[in-house]
Amino acid sequence: MAGMALASSGPVKKSDKADGHTQQALFAGGCFWCMEKPFESLDGVISVTSGYAGGTTDNPTYENYGQGGHIEVVQIVYNPEKVSYGELLNTFWRQIDPTDAGGQFVDRGHEYISAIFVYDAEQRRLAEASKKKLEASGILAKPVATAIVDAPPFWPAEDYHQDYYHKNPIRYSFYRSGSGRDESLKKTWGGVSLDLTGNDPKADLKKKLTEIQYKVTQEEGTEPPFANEYWDNKEAGLYVDIVSGEPLFSSLDKFDSGTGWPSFTRPLVKENIVEHEDRSLFGVRTEVRSKEADSHLGHVFDDGPKPTGLRYCINSAALRFVPVEKLAESGFQEYEKLFQ
């Protein structure tokens, strides 16, 4: 990564040592400018700090970190109740070329190699399982070169490096497009759906979801009528999948069906809904599932009001409500116009 060196800001982190409710992760993926944004976009990530690690010198700066044997890294502080270490691994692999032992994309040399630095035995187990799954997937033309090693001391980079993509969007975009990173990532990962968490997805979901949310979405359960979160919710906004966050329904299509469950006349995005025949309960019904997460949502019936005549009877436990005033900050700004 080419850039003019400035004075070091000293070893001051964006977020201090992790407390009992947070954990840390440390990844090297070449230019640390390009590694911050993907992780900061994850719900549950508290901070991402660019820095240096792996060398033999103390207090490295941008001018001398390479001479001391350090490489560019990002340290992540996250809430494991909201985002798992496995999900961080899943994001990490998709930002790098795992087969490149000499750097990353246009940035060459030891300073830009990739690595997973682990803080404990569980992180090592998940990282090794994730790497093994990637190697066995067959999507890479060469062996994985990314090493998994114990985490060394971490030294934060200068202030001007932190959140560089946000502070200097034009220069960042110019660098990123010219580095070949995006083109290479698209070639490798475009259209590839591969779980690289290194863990059983069901186990991760059990940690993230409440008991009723897991029972409904993963075990086709049904929550009690009139005793659920959204059956009587009258706020304006969107209802998204509790697992994946994909938009499913709008308050504009919600109506009081008298059943005690949230009911809608139609989906917000028809392509995000999948219907299946359900013969599990004394007859034939039409089950409704989300496309991306494959969450069980509820059922659809033909006794609804106009204009569709349909009633999508959905479990609150399968949904997360995003009010209108928070659509933009939640990444759903394209739907704001529906409520104007």
- CB count in 10 Å sphere of residue 303: 9
What does the alpha-carbon distance between residue 261 and residue 265 come to, in Å, rounded to a whole number?
13
Which one of the listed residues 115, 209, 313, 327 is annotated catalytic? 313
Catalytic-residue membership of 34:
no
Catalytic-residue membership of 31:
yes
* Long-range contacts at 68-73 (CB < 8 A, ≥ 24 apart): 69/110, 70/111, 70/155, 71/28, 71/110, 71/111, 71/112, 71/113, 71/115, 72/1, 72/28, 72/30, 72/31, 72/32, 72/111, 72/112, 72/157, 73/26, 73/27, 73/28, 73/32, 73/115, 73/117, 73/154
What does the alpha-carbon distance between residue 145 and residue 156 come to, in Å, rounded to a whole number?
25
Torsion of CA 304, 310, 313, 318, to 10 degrees: -150
What does the alpha-carbon distance between residue 247 and residue 75 come to, in Å, rounded to a whole number?
31
Which one of the listed residues 25, 28, 31, 73 is annotated catalytic? 31
Cite the active site residues. Answer: 31, 313
